[in-house]
Amino acid sequence: DWTPGNVIAEQVERIRARVGDARVICGLSGGVDSSVAAALVQRAIGDQLTCVFVDHGLLRAGEAEQVERDFVAAVGVKLKVVDAEERFLTALAGVTDPETKRKIIGREFIRVFEDAAREVVAEAGESGGEVKFLVQGTLYPDVVESGGGEGAANIKSHHNVGGLPDDLQFELIEPLRTLFKDEVRSVGLELGVPEAIVWRQPFPGPGLGIRIIGEVTRARLDILREADLIVREELSAAGLDREIWQCPVVLLADVRSVGVQGDGRTYGHPIVLRPVSSEDAMTADWSRLPFELLAQISNRITNEVADVNRVVLDVTSKPPGTIEWE
Ligand code: XMP
């Protein structure tokens, strides 16, 4: 019968048999799937696994620490962190078009990951090992969506590292490919993956880069991170984390409106709240959050976040509006 413990035992055995004494690499995004896949492979082969975490500087408050500190402490993986914030911000300077932003972030992500993977390969080589495998957190719905065959899963967006260059060809290990999301969560909990990661709501690969309408700058990211943290704190305090699908928080960086704060007139930016309910992100409805909660979020953001003087609520379904604003 299906229990997380049985799934883990079976996968551990299969992974050990397949990997032997080879080395394995895994890209961590901070999301549920890659984290649970990494934890499972770590359980099977310990330090033969090296995880790579590319911090592109577009994460929300606390998310890098969640991977670098909490995940490592809980699961014991060997982790290589690449701080690439500067590189991503430089590449994004002056860019406002949403698809161009996605392309740039995707391209830089692959390059940074490839460089890190080369280093892992070289380090393994020095100690006489060979990196033969790449772990991917492909789930059953991904397999179905992409038509089936082994290794056929085409992971959405830039986290797809399927198209690696010749010197970085790995065989794929996909230990979650028979599982649904809720099963992955229970396997993750059983493996000791921190709850904040196991229950993390969907978050786009390009991160906050597509939640700043306008050019992405460090100052704007800091504003958005503060506002986003307040929203997450208040939704959690209200016990709504598992009720809503996700709540993008968007900074209209090129829009200003007049406000009055303290003794004077302000001319600041609006923050948009986009809470949605959904089953699979293909369609969505805007979440009817309690007015008191919205009031609390609005008060906190306008009081605590500099340069923001207005909070607005997005009451559009998908379709016609997508979940993200870009
Ligand atoms: P949309 O905005 O298309 O979003 O309604 C549907 C779901 O996908 C997420 N999303 C992305 N995820 N890379 C990702 O990995 C992307 O470029 C991207 N764009 C949107 C979004 O957060 C929502 O869950």
Domain spans of the chain, in order of start = 4-198, 211-313
**Section 152-161 average pLDDT:** 40
Q: Is 246 in the pocket of ligand 1 (CB under 6 A)?
A: yes
Tell me how far the alpha carbon of residue 285 lies from the centroid of ligand 1, in angstroms. Answer: 15
Could you report the per-residue pLDDT of 188-233, keeping only the tens digit for each? Answer: 999 999 999 999 999 999 999 999 999 999 999 999 999 999 999 9
CA angle 42, 154, 178 (to 5 degrees): 55
Q: Which CATH architecture has domain 4-198?
A: 3-Layer(aba) Sandwich (3.40)
Tell me how far the alpha carbon of residue 326 lies from the centroid of ligand 1, in angstroms. Answer: 9
Q: Which fold has domain 211-313?
A: GMP Synthetase; Chain A, domain 3 (3.30.300)
285 is in an annotated binding site: no
33 is in an annotated binding site: yes
106 is in an annotated binding site: no
**Section 251-262 average pLDDT:** 95
pTM reported for the whole predicted model: 0.93
Tell me how far the alpha carbon of residue 324 lies from the centroid of ligand 1, in angstroms. Answer: 6
> Rounded to whole angstroms, how far apart are CA atoms 31 and 311?
28
Q: Is 241 in the pocket of ligand 1 (CB under 6 A)?
A: no
Could you report the per-residue pLDDT of 267-285, keeping only the tens digit for each? Answer: 999 999 999 999 999 999 9
**Section 247-269 average pLDDT:** 95
Q: Is 209 in the pocket of ligand 1 (CB under 6 A)?
A: no
Q: Is 205 in the pocket of ligand 1 (CB under 6 A)?
A: yes
pLDDT value at residue 161: 52
Q: Is 314 in the pocket of ligand 1 (CB under 6 A)?
A: no
257 is in an annotated binding site: no
Q: Is 204 in the pocket of ligand 1 (CB under 6 A)?
A: yes
Tell me how far the alpha carbon of residue 251 lies from the centroid of ligand 1, in angstroms. Answer: 17
**Which residue has the least CA distance to atom 12 on ligand 1?**
204
pLDDT value at residue 2: 93
**Prior bond to 320 cis, omega within 30?**
yes
Q: Is 80 in the pocket of ligand 1 (CB under 6 A)?
A: no
97 is in an annotated binding site: no
Contact 267, 258 (CB under 8 A): yes
